[in-house]
A and B are shown apart, each in its own frame.
Chain A
Amino acid sequence: MQALYAQLLVGLINGSFYALLSLGLAVIFGMLNIINFAHGALYMMGAFCAYFLLNLANIGYWPALIIAPVAVGIFGMILERTLLRWLTGLDHLYGLLLTFGLALIIQGIFQNYFGSSGLPYSIPDALKGGANLGFMYLPIYRGWVVVFSLVVCLLTWYLIERTRLGAYLRAATENPTLVRAFGINVPRMITLTYGLGVGLAALAGVLSAPINQVRPQMGADLIIVVFAVVVIGGMGSIMGSIITGFALGVIEGLTKYFYPEASNTVVFVLMVLVLLVKPTGLTGRAN
C-alpha cells in the first residue's frame, strides 16, 4: 500500500510536466488554431537556455526560470511573425507540417553540436535533499515542481478564462474582423499568445533540466505523449488539458507499478478508448 502512495505521488510529478506542456499546446490551438508540433523542440530549447545561462553567463536556476521562457518566447514570436502567420486560414495540416519540420530542424541543429547523451544540470542548492514522508523519500525538487507548475497552470487558466485580456483573445479567435473593429490589434495579440504558449513550454524545459539530462531529444520523446494528453482532454480546452495532464501522469505511474512494460503505451490505449467513446475529448465541445 505504501508503494502505491509513492507511485501516485511520482505520477503527479510527471503529470505536472504533461499539464504544463499540454496547457501551452491548448492555448496555442485554442487561440491560433495551430497544432504546434514544435512544442517539444521549444521545451528542449528552454532547458538548453537554462544550461547556457548557467555555464556561459553564470546565471543560476532562479533567474533562468524567468529569462529562459522569455527568451524562448521571443524566439517563438519571431517564428509566428515570419512563418506561421502565412498559414492563417489554411487547413490545420499545413501548420502541423510546418511546425513538425521546424522541430526536426531545431533538434537536428542541437544534436549536431551537443550529441545525444545530454548535458548535466544540477538541482539548485535551495531545493537539494529530500523529505521522508513515511511511505517514500520525496526529493524536495520534485515537490517544488508539482506545486510550481500547478500554480502556473491555474494562473494561465485564470488569465485566459477570467480576465478582460483573455476575453479579447477568445473573442479574437471567434471573429477577428469584429474584434479588430473595436480597435484591438489582433495580429499582435496572436503573436503574444503564441509567445505565451511557447514560454510555457520553455518553463517546463527549465523545470525538467535538473531532473533529466538536457538532451536534444528530450522534447521529441515527450511531445507525442503530450499530444495524446491534449487529444484526451479535448483540443483547445484549457482546464481539460490541465486536469488530463495530471490524471494521465498518475495513470502512467500506476502502470509503471503494476505492469512496467506497458508504461509507454498506456496513454495511447486511453487515447484510443476516449476517441472511440467521445471523439471531441473528455472536455471538448462538438462544433
Chain B
Amino acid sequence: MKSRISALLLGTVLAFTAANFAFAQDKTVKVGALSDQSGLYSDLGGPGSTLAAQMAVEDSGLTGKGWKIDVISADHLNKPDVGANIARQWFDVDKVDIIVDVPNSGVALAVSNIVKEKNGIFIDSGAGTSDLTNAQCTPNTIHWTYDTYMLAHGTGSALTKNGGDTWFFLTADYAFGAALERDTTTAVLAAGGKVLGGIKHPLNTSDFSSFLLQAQASKAKVVGLANAGGDTTNAIKQAAEFGLTQGGQKMAALLLFISDVHALGLNTAQGLNFTETFYWDMNDQTRAFSKRFQERMKNHTMPTMVHAGVYSSLLHYFKALEALGGNPHDGAKVVAKMKEMPTDDPLFGKGSIEPNGRKIHPAYLFEVKTPSESKGPWDYYKLLATIPADEAFTPLDKSTCSLLKK
C-alpha cells in the first residue's frame, strides 16, 4: 500500500514537472555543424562553418536575452553512413535541434532523411544537389546557399550562349556530380547546345590526366567540371598542363569556391567563369563580416559562400525562434515559421524561403581576375552579371517536391 501511494505521488510530481516544462519558455538550443573536417571539402566548409555558426550565435544577440546556445561539430568523412550515424546520435543522445552545413550531397541526402524521421531541422549550405528541394524535399529541410540548378543555369547557360555550344563533362561519381551534370545538360540543351559525352571519375581523384586526354579527344568546346573542391582544382591545374586551354577548349568550373581560386593561384585560375551567391568584397556588410571571419580563422582565409550561408541561415533560424518566444523542439514547426518570415541578413540581403525549402536570393556570374587586375590578397573576382533571385533557382511550378502538391 505504502509503495503504491509513493508511486502515485511520484507520478503526480512527474506529471506536474513535465507540464511545467511544456509551459516554460525553453530557451536552450543546440546547433550541430556537420561537415567534412579533414578531406577535400574541409576548406569550403569544415572548421570555417563551425566558426560561422559561432559567429551567428554571438551576432544574434540571443545569449544576452537569456538564451543558452551551444555549437558542436563533427566530421562526416564524406561518408553517408558516417554522417547518418552522427545525425542519429546528435538527435537521440546529444539533443541537437538543428544541423547545419553538410557539404557532400550524398551525406546531405542521408542526413535529410534522418532529420525528418527525428523531426529536427536541417539547413544545408555546403551540398549542391537540387534533389533536396525536389524529389527528396522534406518539411524539415531548408537548402540555403546554392544548388546544382542555380550553377547549371548560371554558368551553363551563359557559356553556351557565348558560343560554347558543345560540352564534355568530367563528373564526380556521386549524388552531387550526377545532379550537376543532369541540371547542366538541361540548361545547355535549352540554350541550343549539345553534349558530346562525359566521364564519371571517383570522388577525390588526384590525377586527371587520363580523363583530360579523353576530354581533349572529344573536341568539345567546353569541358564542364561537375565536381568540387580538390577535384576541381586538380582538374583545372592539369588541364593547363595538358594544353586543353591552349588548344581552344574552355574549362567550365561549374562549382568553384574562393578557397579553390586561392589554392590554384591567379596565374592558373584567371579567366574562369563560374556562379556563386556570395563574395566577400560585395559591399560594406560582406566586407565587415569577412574581415572578422578572416581574423578568427586559423589559416586566415576569407569565408566561402558556404560559410556565409551557415552564418546567415542561423541568424534567420534564431529570428524565428525569437518570434516563437522559445524553442519548441519541434523541427517542422520552426521550419514553417522560418518559411513564413521574409529573410534579411547582412550577407545575402533580402530574400525568402519557398514552400519546398529553397532559399531564394540573387546569384552572381563571376570571372577570376588576371594577376594584373588583382589589387591585393584575396582580390579575385570580377562581377559579370547578376541573376535576379526569382530566376536563379528552380521555378516553383517545375519543382517536383511533394510538399507543393495540395
Residues of A near any B CB (own CB < 8 A)? 2-3, 6-7, 10-11, 13-14, 111-120, 122-123, 130, 136-137, 139, 141-142, 211-213, 215, 217-218, 221-222, 253, 256-257, 260-261, 263-264
Contact = CB atoms under 8 A, between A and B. Distances in A.
Interface string B265-300: 101100000000000000000000000000000110
B202 A120 contact: no
Contacts of B206: 212, 218, 221-222
Given A118-B263, A211-B238, A256 B211 contact: yes
B325 interface: no
A134 B298 CA distance: 48
B218 to A, nearest CB: 10
The interface centre, meaning the residue of A118, A221, A261 with most chain B CB atoms within 10 A of its CB, is A118
Nearest to A130: B243
A116 B242 CA distance: 24
Given A120-B265, A130-B242, A260-B211, A112 B38 contact: no
A218 B210 CA distance: 19
Contact of B210 (A123, A130, A211, A256): A256
B200 interface: yes
B201 A263 contact: yes
Given A116-B46, A141-B241, A260 B200 contact: yes
Contacts of A120: 237, 263-265, 267-268
Contact of A116 (B38, B199, B213): B38
Given A14-B207, A211-B241, A117 B260 contact: yes
Given A7-B210, A211-B237, 7 more contacts: A13-B209, A116-B41, A117-B44, A120-B268, A136-B213, A139-B241, A213-B237
Given A120-B265, A253-B210, A257-B210, A3 B241 contact: no
B145 interface: no
Interface string B16-59: 00000000000000000000001111111010000000000000
Contacts of B242: 130, 137, 139
27 contacts: A3-B213, A114-B299, A116-B43, A117-B43, A117-B44, A118-B230, A120-B237, A120-B264, A130-B243, A136-B213, A137-B242, A137-B243, A139-B241, A141-B241, A212-B206, A212-B207, A213-B264, A215-B230, A217-B38, A221-B204, A257-B210, A257-B214, A260-B173, A260-B210, A261-B202, A263-B202, A263-B210
B5 interface: no
A260 B199 contact: yes
Contacts of B41: 116
A1 to B, nearest CB: 12
B42 A116 contact: yes
B202 A264 contact: yes
Interface of B: 38-44, 46, 173, 199-202, 204-207, 209-211, 213-214, 216-217, 229-230, 233-234, 237-238, 241-243, 247, 259-260, 262-265, 267-268, 298-299, 301
A13 B241 CA distance: 14
A53 B243 CA distance: 28
A5 to B, nearest CB: 10
Contacts of A130: 241-243
Contacts of B42: 111, 115-116
B38 A10 contact: no
A52 B243 CA distance: 28
Nearest to B38: A111
A221 B230 CA distance: 12
Which of A115, A120, A141, A215 has the most B CB atoms < 10 Å from its CB?
A115
Given A112-B298, A213-B234, A221-B206, A117 B216 contact: no
B235 to A, nearest CB: 11
A117 B243 contact: no
Residue from B42, B241, B247 whose CB has the most chain A CB atoms within 10 Å = B241
A267 to B, nearest CB: 12
Contact of B39 (A3, A116, A137): A116
Contacts of A116: 38-43, 46, 229-230
A212 B210 contact: no
Contacts of B238: 211
A118 B233 contact: yes
Which of B207, B217, B267, B299: most chain A CB closer than 10 A? B207
Nearest to A218: B206
A6 B43 contact: no
A257 B46 CA distance: 33
B230 A213 contact: yes
Nearest to B213: A6
Contacts of B237: 120, 211-213
B210 A119 contact: no
A124 B44 CA distance: 29
Contacts of B201: 260-261, 263
Contacts of A257: 210, 214
Given A10-B210, A139-B243, A253-B210, A117 B230 contact: yes
Contacts of B199: 260
A114 B297 CA distance: 11
A214 B87 CA distance: 33
Q: Which of A116, A119, A217, A261 has the largest number of chain B CB atoms within 10 A?
A: A116
Nearest to B201: A260
B298 A113 contact: yes
A208 to B, nearest CB: 9
B66 to A, nearest CB: 36
B405 to A, nearest CB: 36
A3 B200 contact: no
Nearest to A120: B265
Given A120-B264, A120-B265, A139-B241, A213 B233 contact: yes
Nearest to B170: A260
A212 B265 CA distance: 13
A260 B200 CA distance: 6
Contacts of B230: 116-118, 213, 215
